[in-house]
Amino acid sequence: MQSSTVNLPRIVAGTLVVVTGLQLCSGALVTTYDAAMAVPDWPSTYGHNMFLFPLREWLGGPFDLMLEHGHRLWGTVVGLLTLVLAGVCWKWPVAPAVRSLAVAAVALVVLQGLVGGFRVLLDSQTVAKVHACAGPLFFAVVVAIAALARRGGEAVRPSTPLAARTAAGLVGAAYLQLVAGAQLRHLDAAVDPRTFHFLVGLHLLGAVAVVGLGATAVAATRSGASRGAWGWSRAILFLVGCQIVLGGGAWVAKYGAPSALLPEAWRMSQPVVARSGSGAVIVTGHAVLGMLLLGAAVALAIAAGALARRPVAAAVRGVGKGAFA
């Protein structure tokens, strides 16, 4: 039975946004605590069927085992809920684009689970980087489904061309910044200093781009865009400010304070795993906030009509028929 008052795709997609957000936090903690190999087999856990692994050994065992096994179990919840969402989008009268995104979400979550497993089986940092970049991509797709389903097939309100383009640029910049951050986070201890300097420079340049686009988005959505777009762009600019502070903190937690920016301080030190409580919170917080910023940029892009086919023409005609309507 489909009631006109209940928007089931929106409810399921919204729940999946939250459930996936928790999975991003749990994964980031696994990386921060270097717990990836705490369970060396997969899909089993120490020879047990993953779902039958004794609760006492999971919750009463070492911290890193608790994190890694918990990440796998929560990943199953994410996967199952994604299948439910795809089923709901299939049965419900949703826009074709929502249906396509739901199919993409299923493909991405299966891929993410497999990549996570192979990261363990191959004990590979390269695979870990792929996993770190694909997880937030899946999150972005789920956010897009939730944002589009919320509109229940209504037209995406057209925005000004600048707002729409800036929002789209912000999605791209946030993702590239995340990819650059993942290279720093999963650094090979034997990396040569020039590569390290390049990655740091790229990440700082990315931060400048994200700040610039965030500020432009606020200015561009001030008038002529929806209230949602205006709200999202201000929230993003605020979060980007927090992210810069956390980024500086993550640097200090991992490499120590750059005392007076002497050349000495520029020299790369061995990557240090942030095991102190506050260091772990800062480093994990920086990684997670970067992933959430990507989701927020996607929500802004949709609210600003960046995905509408012809925002300008629609605005001129005053009809606002979007691609996802």
Query: Interface with ligand HEM by CB under 6 A: which residues?
Result: 20, 23-24, 27-28, 30-31, 36, 42, 71-72, 75, 78-79, 109, 112-113, 116-117, 119-120, 128, 131-132, 135, 138, 174, 177-178, 181-182, 184-186, 203, 207, 210, 240, 243-244, 247-248, 250-251, 254, 283, 286-287, 290-291, 293
At closest approach, how far in Å is the CB of 191 from ligand HEM?
12
Q: Which residues does residue 48 pair with via DSSP β-bridges, in sequence order?
A: 45
Q: Which positions ≥6 away from 137 have C-beta within 8 Å?
A: 108, 175
What span, in angstroms and rounded, lies between the C-alpha atoms of 290 and 165?
A: 21
CA 75, distance to chain mean position in Å, is 15
Judged by beta carbon, residue 59 or residue 122, the one nearer ligand HEM is 122
Judged by beta carbon, residue 290 or residue 322, the one nearer ligand HEM is 290
At closest approach, how far in Å is the CB of 36 from ligand HEM?
4
At closest approach, how far in Å is the CB of 242 from ligand HEM?
9
Judged by beta carbon, residue 71 or residue 151, the one nearer ligand HEM is 71
Judged by beta carbon, residue 58 or residue 138, the one nearer ligand HEM is 138
What residue type is assigned to position 141 of the chain? V
Query: In this structure, how many other beta carbons lie within 10 angstroms of the beta carbon of residue 95?
Result: 21
CB–CB of 36/68 below 8 Å? yes
What span, in angstroms and rounded, lies between the C-alpha atoms of 153 and 72?
A: 35
Judged by beta carbon, residue 208 or residue 219, the one nearer ligand HEM is 208
At closest approach, how far in Å is the CB of 311 from ligand HEM?
26
What span, in angstroms and rounded, lies between the C-alpha atoms of 175 and 198?
A: 18
